[in-house]
Amino acid sequence: MGSTAPSAGENIAVLRKARGLSQAKLAREAGITLSYLSKIETGLRPATPPVVAAVARVLHVTTARVYGNPFVGPAEQMDLLNELRNTVRRHTLPRESPLSPAETTGAVQTAADLRASTQYLELLRMLPALLGQTTASALDSRGEATAWGYVADVYSCAYTVAHRLAQPDLADMIVSRQMWAAQQTWNPSAEAAAAWNEAGTYQSAGQYEDGLAIIERAISRYEAVPASGPFRTIHLGSLHLRGVVLASRAKDANATRDHLRHAWTLAETLPDGRDLVQHHLTFGRGNTALYELASHVELDAPDRAVQMSGSLIASPPAGLKPNRLGRLYIDVARARLAVRDYAGAEEALNAAHAVAPQMAQIHPMGREVLRVLIVMHQRSKPGLLAMAKRAGLAS
């Protein structure tokens, strides 16, 4: 195919051979069939997150090593990531000057908008300075909760960038800094948002049970807070949605249903049917439906996901930003691929690339579905090849 960036399946084959393992032994120890592993390595089936997690455990590597680096050759983002890493490391020693309250509000909103629109490179360009500026302002504020809340929110943006750009070590460090900032706010909502990202680091590593433990602890603590209103609903509901992903990837159907039931109950209390955003967490009926659809894919019921997708694609939920819509289309592509609707999978991937191009090009499952379609069509479709070139999967 002229691939310029190794896929997860190709990386699995290389790592397996380096360990001296046969396909049969790796498949047996990872709990999958030999036929399935063979198809993953040759590009006929996508390497799903639970499979990557199982294989990584057997090979004694991280899931990030299996997925590989989606970027080919020297790139501006790698220099910027190193700058961000240095800023995060010296989190109590900002070199930047404080911003005024009005400047802080505007800059943090700009970062939030870039995150929601999946403009990760543009966001990365502003994050090191913004982290330093908001931290300097918070340190000068003598414990003012709002100032520290802005710091926590900027760290949340930084986590998204590190996660999406395949930097798990940086994501771990950022989450610890976000927790530190959230604890300065004395705001349970800020701590819940940080816990949502903390569980995300376990999700990325394929440690789903540990991630569920983080979520369940955060839910218990947050439920004990004597508060009410939409902001509380957003944070509690979002924790349950993270629980849906973790439980479904752990193949725990009962826990998945339980978190979904709680999420839907909370979503129905929000007015106007629109999803709301607070501390970069999106919650409402629309996002809950998206998580339910994704859970069907993870629990090996792609037909149910396809059935759900019709109304969601025909009339996307109000209030959802490109980052959520892009993920919807990628999950629909996964489901359609699983039911052998290859034209539909391509159509959904095209929609993801249109609404959230930077995310679609680097999202592991977006790349896996695209790779399978390319292999099956043997590069015969120009549209697929164009997408593959943008994603660095073909030269």
Backbone angles phi, psi at 233, to 5 degrees: -60, -40
Assess if residue 349 is contained within a domain.
Answer: yes
Q: At which of 50, 67, 84 does a domain end?
A: 67
pLDDT tens sequence across 289-335: 999 999 999 999 999 999 999 999 999 988 899 999 999 999 999 99
Percent of the chain exceeding pLDDT 90 equals: 83
Same-domain check for residues 119 and 35: no
- Same domain for 47 and 83, yes or no, is no
57 and 92 assigned to the same domain: no
Structural domain that includes position 391? 319-395
In a domain, 254, yes or no: no
The two three-digit tokens of residue 227, written as one number: 């508060």
Q: Taking the C-alpha atoms of 269, 271, 272 and 278 in order, what is their torsion angle to the nearest 10 degrees?
A: -100
Residue 108 within any structural domain of the chain: yes
Query: Which CATH number goes with the domain that contains 21?
Result: 1.10.260.40
Same domain, 160 and 59: no
The answer as to whether 35 is a domain residue is yes
Length of the chain: 395
| Of 188, 204, 288, 272, the residue nearest 238 (C-alpha) | 288
Average pLDDT over the chain reads 93
Give dist(CA 67, CA 164) in Å, integer: 12
Q: Across residues 47-52, what is the average pLDDT?
A: 96
62 and 100 part of one domain: no
pTM for this entry: 0.92
Q: Examine residue 289 and state whether it is found in any structural domain, yes or no.
A: no
Which of 49-53, 190-194, 222-226, 388-392 has the lowest average pLDDT? 388-392
CB distance 47 to 9 below 8 Å: yes
Residue type at 183 in one-letter notation: Q
Which among 331, 318, 335 is positioned nearest to 360, based on CA atoms?
331
In the three-class reduction of DSSP (H, G, I as helix; E, B as strand; rest coil), residue 42 is classed as helix
Q: Is residue 182 part of a domain?
A: yes
State both tokens at 275.
Answer: 């999803």
Sign of CA dihedral 25, 28, 34, 38: negative
**Rounded to a whole number, what is the distance in angstroms from the first to the last CA of the chain?**
8
Residues 57 and 120 both lie in one domain = no
Say whether both 27 and 92 belong to one domain: no
Q: How far apart are CA 101 and CA 152, in angstroms?
A: 15
Helix (H) / strand (E) element for 233: namely helix 230-249
Lowest mean pLDDT segment, chosen from 92-101, 211-220, 224-233: 224-233
Residue 1 confidence class, pLDDT cut points 50, 70, 90: very low
Residue 379: pLDDT above 80? no
> How many domains does the structure of the chain reveal?
3
At 261-300, the pLDDT tens digits run: 999 999 999 988 789 988 889 999 999 999 999 999 999 9
Domain end (from 48, 67, 86): 67
Chain centroid, CA 34 distance in Å: 29
Last-in-domain residue among 186, 210, 238: 186
pLDDT of residue 389: 84
Tokens 């929601």 belong to 116
